[in-house]
Amino acid sequence: MSVDPTPAGSRRDSKITIKYVSPYAELMPIVWLADHTVVFTHIPKAAGSTLDSILKDIAEDDGLKWLRVMGTLYGQFLGPGKPDTLAELRGLSNEALSRAQFLTGHLPFGVHERIEGKCFYITVLREPVSRLVSHFRYGVERGGWPAATAIEDLLRDGLLIDNPQTRQLAGLRDAGAKCTPATLETALSNLESHYGIVGVTERFDEVLKALIGLYGWPDLAYTDGQVTTARIGGELEMKVAEAARRMDALDAELYAWAASRETPWTDGLFAGAARGTAKQDQVLLTSSILYHYRRELPPRPSFQSICDQAMANGDAVEFV
């Protein structure tokens, strides 16, 4: 349901949409996870920056420690000057990793082996064609390569890699290692045995609803983070999409598995059904775009006060 509080005739070109998320009314958590480290396996260009921002804001609001292992994985271009994630990880002690309640980054599966305690893995996957198109456009926007660059040249130069989602979730660390059907089986096994939540970008809010319910968070108001605005033209976009179908076939199978699941969470976390909405009295405003709302509203404002402020700013609120 969408609520657009902006009066007719007062639209702004810079209008943003605030997404408002509440937990399911009939879904009750049956496990205690407060003593687990939340490990977010951030897949590049798969709504990860949005979720990472939410986790960071939740940690700050609750006085918890959020730790992001900075950098890029497999040499992929994710912005100029990014360090190597694995090198950054090696520079962190097991004690430092274990102190974090939220551990995030472009990390391959397996970091739980260095954490002294229990872990709760979460991740979000994206349909491979749309993910690669987004990544390609991001590279153009951030100066990684010209728009006319062939995908094959980017693979050769190590700025992109085939089947990055399968590689990351299988725990591959060597960019030179081949990604094979056996790698896919390892990735699927890891997801089934270690991950509590495996979402897909098209159903991102289901991930948030589950996390709100599991951890007793307030309702969340957020905006999409790091959205690529560069356009590359229809013909070139078609070529990138064709390349994705060739080079990311294993990722397509991995994504199909995740998308086919009835819910993003594993069995044994909840009792009840994913029905209804339990709107709460307090809301946490997340994402950098909403910082000006934080200055104008009290901590954990009400839904109505957010709508009132959105009306004043010419923005819209979408209740999901």
> Each residue of 239-262: pLDDT tens digit?
889 999 999 999 999 999 999 999
* pLDDT tens profile 76-112: 999 999 999 999 999 999 999 999 999 999 999 999 9
132 is in which domain, residue-wise? 33-204+233-275
Taking the C-alpha atoms of residue 315 and residue 213, their distance in angstroms, rounded to an integer, is: 27
Helix (H) or strand (E) holding 49: helix 48-62
Helix (H) or strand (E) holding 239: helix 234-247
Q: At 44, is the pLDDT very low, low, confident or very high (cuts 50, 70, 90)?
A: very high
Residue 283 resides in a domain: no
Residue 258 resides in a domain: yes
The number of domains in the chain is 1
Residue 298 resides in a domain: no
CA 158 to chain centre: 23
Give me the sign of the Cα torsion angle 211, 216, 220, 226. negative
Residue 221 resides in a domain: no
Give the pTM: 0.92
Residue 18 resides in a domain: no
Taking the C-alpha atoms of residue 174 and residue 167, their distance in angstroms, rounded to an integer, is: 9
Residues in the chain: 320
Is there a contact between 139 and 77 (Cβ–Cβ < 8 Å)?
yes
Q: What percent of the chain has pLDDT over 90?
A: 80
Residue 228 resides in a domain: no
Taking the C-alpha atoms of residue 4 and residue 18, their distance in angstroms, rounded to an integer, is: 10
Residue 53 resides in a domain: yes
Is there a contact between 18 and 310 (Cβ–Cβ < 8 Å)?
yes
* pLDDT tens profile 174-217: 999 999 999 999 999 999 999 999 999 999 999 999 999 999 99
In 186-264, DSSP assigns E strands to 195-200, 219-222
CATH number of the domain within which 237 lies:
3.40.50.300
Q: At 4, is the pLDDT very low, low, confident or very high (cuts 50, 70, 90)?
A: very low
* pLDDT tens profile 130-169: 999 999 999 999 999 999 999 999 999 999 999 999 999 9
Residue indicated by tokens 């005739």: 9
Residue 296 resides in a domain: no
